[in-house]
Amino acid sequence: MKKASKIMCLMCAALLVLSGCGNSNTATTDKAADTIKEEIGGAEYNETSSDDVKEIVSAENSNSGNTVLAAPEDFSYEYDDKLDGLVVKKYNGKEQRITIPSEIDGQTVKGLSMTFYRNNEIIEVVIPNTVTSIYAAFEECENLEKVTLPDNLSKLGSDTFKLCSKLTDIQLPGTLKEIGASAFAFCYGLTSITLPQSLEIIGYSAFNSCTSLTGINIPEGVTTIEQYVFAHCSALTEIVFPNNPKKIENYLFIGCEGLKSVSIPDSVTSIGSYAFSECKSLEEITIPDSVVTILDSAFSDCTNLKNIRLPQSELVIYQTAFSGCTSLKSLVLPDTMVKTWDQTFGGCEGLTVTYKGTVYDESTFNELYKLIN
């Protein structure tokens, strides 16, 4: 009993000394561990090794003292056969800034699942590099400000940061390949995010209603951008696409009222339903010749859209594709166009459309629709 008490005192003293050592703590850590060994008779007592001391010190120093290493008893967890490790299901502690331990009861922590769901006390969390799976871990954490993600994470699961309104920025690891559905949806305070070059998939509604996000560059490796990804990002002014996507998905930018500039790559063959609907700051758009389909309401209610360059392709434009574009006054359809429907230009007051040398206006649009049908 006396020996155990002495160990605890020595460890506390060692940590107090180390907390003031800044980044030059490696030698001091080893010395502290050696001192403990000497006091308890060298290797005869093995409950606290030098590696244990180093792990605690590393956890304390890695975050400049902002977080504390959470105790194992603060978590509910279960073993997962697929991950071959523990999945932390819930944080039951009271600390607001924590580092999650890499091991609990001798088992490696491999996953987080709804760990902090609706926890309105948590402010900052450091996730250990042992974690490879994260799902809905921080959903609806209203006061969450900072999260340090593991270095080797390949997928950020669905709903991970959904409705974290105070999260303003986050560093994504360079190994990340997929951002899951609604991962950052309704993060109203998110102002910027850098997507890593390793990224391949951006899931459904991933950044939906991130109303403070102003711009984003999509890396060249991204091949899949699902529906609603940037829907209602009202402060988004510019988007840069890679040259990989085949389709601008349905509802991708609906309600992006601040979007002024978008460059559609030559890889795109189809623009989805409501893809740019209600983008009220968009003034001009060039659609590349690779595009053969513009689906219904793709550009509907883009009230400041003045100039459109349509592709010289066997183009099909679906109904209401440009309806409500009240600033659009003239448009030239390609001679190669093969089909359109009623109300393609519905509500476009004062618009004239030229097709194969003939000019049509609101009074003769029905003739045009019948001609290209």
Q: Where are the domains of the chain?
A: 2-61, 264-373
Q: What is the model's pTM? A: 0.80
pLDDT over 60 at 18, yes or no: no
344 within 8 A of 322, measured Cβ to Cβ: yes
pLDDT in tens, 176-204: 999 999 999 999 999 989 999 999 999 99
Whether 239 contacts 194, CB under 8 Å? no
Taking all residues of the chain, what is their mean pLDDT, rounded to a whole number? 86
pLDDT tens readout for residues 223-281: 999 999 999 999 999 888 888 889 999 999 999 999 998 889 999 999 999 999 999 99
Instruction: Kindly report the CATH class assigned to 264-373.
Output: alpha beta
